[in-house]
Amino acid sequence: MKIPQALIDSLQNVKGFHEEAFIKIHEQSESPTSIRLNPFKPIQKWGISQENTTDEGVSQVPWCEKGRYLATRPKFTFDPLFHAGAYYVQEASSMFLETALKQTVDLTKDLKVLDLCAAPGGKSTLINSLLTPESLLISNEVIRSRANILADNLTRWGTMNTVVTNNDPKDFARLTGFFDVLVIDAPCSGSGLFRKDPEAINEWSLDNVTMCSLRQKRIIGDVWASLKEGGTLIYSTCSYSEAENEDIVKWICEEFGAKNLTLDIANFQINTDLENTKAQSSLRFYPDQIKGEGFFIAAFKKLNSEKETFIRSGKPIKNNSRRTEREIFRTWVNGIDNFTWFEKNDDYFLINPDHEHIIKLLQSNLYLRKAGIRMGKIAGKDLIPDHELALSLYLSENIARRELSREQAISYLRRDDFTLEQAQKGWSLMTYEDHGLGWAKILPNRINNYYPKELRILSRA
């Protein structure tokens, strides 16, 4: 791996950069494998004992409670627990977002959070793990195909308090003073991920760095009005270039009068780039100094005020068919009386009643790709359950379940034919280690596999 000389030259005066060690780690070391466990779907695998070791060589990511380093990289595609949403494969350095949020935001409060550049979903699932159930996470992705991947990953996480939008950042300016927290993991030149993606070296250039810097300023400028006074902005990139990092920090402080917040790293071996003359405080992660990839992160408090978008409060709107619908859903959803729902294009979506008016406001201003949990369609007096319901945390314990072996689970996830002895007829949740994978309908002479075709395992290796 040959690091571009222009990048090396540009980093000579950057604090924490050590050229020889930086080049050596890229030439001789592979990227470490790390995952983050889903706290809502606990598993025994990859846990950490009191001695902080396991017989599988698993170790803790220091700045993320559920983060784990793995000694070897398994074939995640062939692990049913991955498809069940029991964990997310995420680069370790980027998990520092957890510590940044814990240090700058009161996570015990009910918050409205926007993850602006959210696909494929690593940071969104992390944020969602930290929020109260009454909080609402809006995860946005401007590219439609990537928004679909984002929605799939949040579906696997299983929670109700998420919305996926597919909008340009400027569309959020309509929601003035709306969000308590903005997370912007900005599109960047990608130099911090050269070890994970060596092909990115061929796309890197100083011109691309300049272009990304201009795009980052536009994105922040477009969405700034949506952050309320006193709200928190977390800005990050996977770039080493000052133009995309420290220069953006300085620009945010000068352009918007924001307060740059210091992140405490006393317990971690992370370089800090602190220049009081520029009122800049930020963190740089170098792969030769920490167990992770290149990463940059900074936090801000908004000091100027915005006119807040009005959200109508009150009880959920009811209609004449709600009682009939509720009795149908009661079979499928735990605690249905605590929730509400809305219907769109014959699909029913389960949501927190406290979020109903917020979601209606979002619908009137944005394109929503996903909201709450899609339960399915009603046919007569029955529900045709959706895949989202199968992976959710709200499925009734009375629903028929069928525990699969690993071999059976892989066959199910491939949509291959497989057999089940003494299977109960009708809809049944296919599970692996008690975690839902999806639906199957058991008929007298066959099994209809309802695992989504677009999610099936294609590989045979």
**Cα–Cα distance, 169 to 175 (Å, whole number):** 11
Contact 401, 438 (CB under 8 A): no
The interaxial angle of helices 206-223 and 246-256, nearest 10 deg, is 30
Q: Tell me how crowded residue 38 is: count the other CB atoms within 10 A of its CB.
A: 24
∠ CA 94-185-110, rounded to 5°:
90
Amino acid (one-letter) located at 359:
I
Helix (H, G, I), strand (E, B), or coil: what is residue 220? helix
185 annotated as belonging to a binding site for a ligand: yes
120 annotated as belonging to a binding site for a ligand: yes
141 annotated as belonging to a binding site for a ligand: yes
64 annotated as belonging to a binding site for a ligand: no
123 annotated as belonging to a binding site for a ligand: yes
**Cα–Cα distance, 206 to 33 (Å, whole number):** 29
118 annotated as belonging to a binding site for a ligand: yes
257 annotated as belonging to a binding site for a ligand: no
Instruction: Tell me the catalytic residues.
Output: 238
Hey, what are 299's tokens? 């936090």
**Contacts (Cβ under 8 Å, ≥6 apart) of 181:** 101, 105, 111, 112, 113, 114, 231, 232, 233, 234
DSSP states of 173-208? GGSTT-EEEEEEE-----GGGTTT-TTHHHH--HHH
**Cα–Cα distance, 10 to 243 (Å, whole number):** 10
168 annotated as belonging to a binding site for a ligand: yes
**Cα–Cα distance, 281 to 69 (Å, whole number):** 28
∠ CA 326-330-336, rounded to 5°:
75
Contact 18, 12 (CB under 8 A): no
Binding-site residue positions: 117-123, 141, 168, 185
Binding-site residue positions for S-adenosyl-L-methionine: 117-123, 141, 168, 185
